[in-house]
Structure 1
Amino acid sequence: MMSIAETILFIVAIGVILGWLFVLLMHIVALFYGRYLMHRVVPQPDPENLHGVSILKPLTGVDPNLYKNLETFFNQQYPAYELLFSVQDENDPAIMVVQSLIQKYPKIDAKLFIGLRYVGPNGKINNMVRGYEAAKYDLIVISDSGISMRPETLMNMVSFMKSDVGLVLQMPYTAHRKFGFSSVYEQVYFGTFQARNSLGANAVGINCSTGMSCMFRKELLENVGGLQAFAKYLAEDFFICQEIVRQKYKAVLCSLPAIQNSGNCSVEHFHNRLIRWSQLRGAMLPHLIVLEPLSECMLMGVCISWALDFLFNVSPMGVFLLHTLMWFLSDYFLLKTVENGPLPFSKFEFFVAWITREALAFWLSLRSHKNGVVQWRHKRYKVHWGGSVSEI
């Protein structure tokens, strides 16, 4: 008969194996759902049933790729849309970029709003709210300044906006940029960890929204007070999705990813983004503080190696190596699916970026829980349980 300690360890080992099987299932779901969804050609709606779209573009400052990124929005293959740019103050150099594009494309319905209106601590919403209120179409797209759009992207998003859908998301990914390791590092993260979470969650109906590029029905936000109702959160995308689903509408991924093409790229800057996102997730969903690190490759490999050794006397080193190899290959093929072809870098570069991300995941998770202060652009926020923030 087992002692109390042995019984506890037995239960923990069984729990580890069940957790490992769940994560393995998410890998499989993401791979198959990604093959089904990503870059799939979807039937276009009847032109008579196409709704107009208002695209909100909040801008702050200029990076080397801003002009090129914004220009892609002037070249959308869609019959009726408007571009609503917004900057926070009249001295922002982004104003000149926007004005030059408006002059270059006079046939595109584009407007520029200068000056924010304070409705809460979320600076992005303060910047967008005037454009949101001026939007003349019911379908709203929020698109970050660093996003580059293929000409068919807007049509693709609208094609997924069925009668029972309230929110269409683009899965975040990155363009291949000539920044060396930092560019590959970002691309590997978004094409593996982020893609697995987004595809797996969307396939089973879990809220895993990102606000980099998303389309929603304006009436659904108006039902709860408009965009400004979400200004008390930094992760407004999560709560917008939550509210739309609460109103009995679906949130779905479209088949084209959101291509981030910022002209600035560094490992330190990217780590700061990861830490900020982890802080917000922990505040909104506290159970992720424990579950998220445990679901990472290296820590989960250690746990499953111990569990199988404890229960079945299997070689821990053999289990760990096999687990890591399976995870590596799964991520490699998922990244190729997201990229829709061969990788734009070598297999060795992929290996170095992948092993770096996996090795640093736990350390970055620990850093994110040092305190409850989030640094976003030039502002600092105190994060409260539930996801709301207050500006420091």
Structure 2
Amino acid sequence: MESLELTLLGLAILLMIVWCVNWCMHLSALIYGKWRLHRQHPDVVVEELPGISILKPLVGIDPNLFENLETFFNMKYPAYELLFCIQDEFDASRMIVQSLMDKYPAVDAKMFLGGKNVGINPKINNMAIGYEAAKFDLVMISDSGIKMNEDTLIDMAVHMTSKVGLVHQMPYICTRKGFASNLEKMYFGSQHAKCYLLADLMRINCATGMSVLMRKSVLDEAGGLKAFGQYLAEDFFMAQAFLDRGWRVICCSRLALQNSGTYSISHHHRRICRWMKLRNAMVPTTVLFEPLSLCMPVGIITAWAVNYIFDISPLTFLLVHTLIWFLLDYTRMKHLEHGSIPFSKFDFVVCWFINEIGYMLLLLQSHLEPAITWRGRHFKLKWGGVVEEIYTKQTV
């Protein structure tokens, strides 16, 4: 009996330590985000910044595609080229690109059709020809749904110092209409932002490929773009290739503003679940540690621990724990918005609870359904992040 009590006491102490570590992580990410994001560069001589080749992989038309692509034609940067990569010559996005090229003839822009089959990743295949044609050593990959501020490219180039090989942007969401958009903003402004900022602070590989600037010469040493065609999470392995060669990988001050015109709650959940599956395959330790970084799971288990050690009401502890966690998330989103949050406090509360509870359910789903569906194709994940496509028989 005494042995059982000692075991329970040890477990309770361990859970209290996990709880304290979570709060240290929460506060560290909050302070670091306040310091890192939205910084200005008044002393930069823009004319001395290096040229940049921007790869834009395009598939199909999004309601906001014209608006998003036009922001790349209006950036305040001395030397850059736009390389639009379109897999299918009959893709409707080709007309939008051509109309923008006609509207801004002074911008160095080219269109590449057809792509090249260099691996299983359709995005890599799409960009292969454009990558080979890039004329600058700094190459940026930017997804079609990204909306660019006119000074973002300057900010990314400033962060590309002599010891830095890759600069990435922390994902966030543009303000759009509807509850689904608010829910997306909640995810990227709370749990995701905390982990992303903390990983960057601790120099852990967290780079996402939706908006990333890289040294082409270093990437070529690793085998070029085609070397990463065997992965779906090519961004993670590209960043790791830079880290393995002694280069730093850092997050810049401007956010990657996702501005897709097609969005819904179901689409958002499928996307998060796909990312979870990729993380589980690439970094298996996340299976254990990710649930322990969420508000509800860590609050519930710690409520038992404080009740066992200090005889404090578990319900009271859980309510206080949740309230403080909620307030820190609210503060972080205000930092990301660089001002007030663009929807009501009531919507914030509803979105916050749906995000917290839904995230736990999606974690469970990611383990029960390990296969990935992306761009209409089905993939089977292997340990290490390598994938193979699943082909289904068609009957006539």
- Find the aligned partners of 1:25 and 1:364 in 2 and give their Cα distance: 26
- Find the aligned partners of 1:233 and 1:330 in 2 and give their Cα distance: 35
- Counting only pairs closer than 5 Å after superposition, residues 126-141 of structure 1 correspond to structure 2 as 126-141=125-140
- Find the aligned partners of 2:119 and 2:8 in 1 and give their Cα distance: 48
Q: Show CA shifts across 1:247-285 (max 9, x none).
A: 111111111100000001100000000100000000011
| 1:91 alignment counterpart | 90
- The code of the aligned residue for 2:339 comes to G
- The code of the aligned residue for 2:182 comes to V
| 1:113 alignment counterpart | 112
TM-score, normalised to structure 2's length?
Answer: 0.96
- Find the aligned partners of 2:79 and 2:279 in 1 and give their Cα distance: 36
- Find the aligned partners of 1:10 and 1:122 in 2 and give their Cα distance: 50
- Runs of 4+ in structure 1 off by over 4 angstroms are none
- Find the aligned partners of 2:42 and 2:213 in 1 and give their Cα distance: 18
- Counting only pairs closer than 5 Å after superposition, residues 34-73 of structure 1 correspond to structure 2 as 34-43=33-42, 45-47=44-46, 49-73=48-72
The structure 2 residue matched to 1:370, chosen from 368, 371, 375, is: 368
| 1:199 alignment counterpart | 197
- The code of the aligned residue for 1:150 comes to N
| 2:393 alignment counterpart | none
- The code of the aligned residue for 2:179 comes to F
Cα shift at 1:232? 0.9
The structure 2 residue matched to 1:323, chosen from 314, 321, 331, is: 321
Look up the SS of the partner of 1:375 in the other structure: strand
- Counting only pairs closer than 5 Å after superposition, residues 229-240 of structure 1 correspond to structure 2 as 229-240=227-238
- The code of the aligned residue for 1:346 comes to S
- Find the aligned partners of 1:219 and 1:12 in 2 and give their Cα distance: 51
| 2:255 alignment counterpart | 257
Q: Show CA shifts across 1:178-237 (max 9, x none).
A: 1x1101000111111111111111112111111110111111111110011111111111
| 1:162 alignment counterpart | 161
- 1:2 and 2:2 aligned: yes
| 1:297 alignment counterpart | 295
- Find the aligned partners of 1:226 and 1:10 in 2 and give their Cα distance: 54
Cα shift at 1:15? 2.0
5+ residue gaps, structure 2, are 391-396
Cα shift at 1:47? 4.3
Look up the SS of the partner of 2:268 in the other structure: helix
Alignment CA distance shift 1:227-1:36 (3 Å): same
Look up the SS of the partner of 2:105 in the other structure: coil
Look up the SS of the partner of 1:116 in the other structure: coil
Q: Kindly, what percent of the aligned residue pairs are identical?
A: 51
- The code of the aligned residue for 2:95 comes to M
TM-score, normalised to structure 1's length?
Answer: 0.97
Matched residues, number = 390
| 1:23 alignment counterpart | 22
- Find the aligned partners of 2:7 and 2:244 in 1 and give their Cα distance: 39
- 1:80 and 2:79 aligned: yes
- Find the aligned partners of 1:310 and 1:195 in 2 and give their Cα distance: 33
| 2:283 alignment counterpart | 285
- 1:148 and 2:152 aligned: no
- Find the aligned partners of 1:133 and 1:285 in 2 and give their Cα distance: 31
- The code of the aligned residue for 2:7 comes to I
| 2:101 alignment counterpart | 102
| 2:394 alignment counterpart | none
- Find the aligned partners of 1:135 and 1:267 in 2 and give their Cα distance: 37
Look up the SS of the partner of 1:239 in the other structure: helix
- Find the aligned partners of 2:172 and 2:191 in 1 and give their Cα distance: 11
Look up the SS of the partner of 1:168 in the other structure: strand
| 1:382 alignment counterpart | 380
Look up the SS of the partner of 1:107 in the other structure: coil
- Find the aligned partners of 1:387 and 1:10 in 2 and give their Cα distance: 39
Query: Is the 2:46–2:154 contact (alpha carbons within 8 Å) kept by the matching residues of 1?
Result: no
- Find the aligned partners of 1:67 and 1:329 in 2 and give their Cα distance: 37
- Find the aligned partners of 1:47 and 1:73 in 2 and give their Cα distance: 17
- The code of the aligned residue for 2:77 comes to Y
Alignment CA distance shift 1:48-1:346 (3 Å): closer
- Find the aligned partners of 1:39 and 1:205 in 2 and give their Cα distance: 20
- Find the aligned partners of 1:205 and 1:23 in 2 and give their Cα distance: 18
Look up the SS of the partner of 1:333 in the other structure: helix
- Find the aligned partners of 1:95 and 1:28 in 2 and give their Cα distance: 46
* RMSD, aligned CA: 1.2
Cα shift at 1:44? 5.2
Query: Is the 2:47–2:78 contact (alpha carbons within 8 Å) kept by the matching residues of 1?
Result: no
Query: Is the 2:209–2:235 contact (alpha carbons within 8 Å) kept by the matching residues of 1?
Result: yes
- The code of the aligned residue for 2:108 comes to D
- 1:220 and 2:242 aligned: no
Cα shift at 1:53? 0.2
- Find the aligned partners of 1:48 and 1:260 in 2 and give their Cα distance: 28
Query: Is the 1:188–1:354 contact (alpha carbons within 8 Å) kept by the matching residues of 2?
Result: yes
- Find the aligned partners of 2:116 and 2:87 in 1 and give their Cα distance: 9
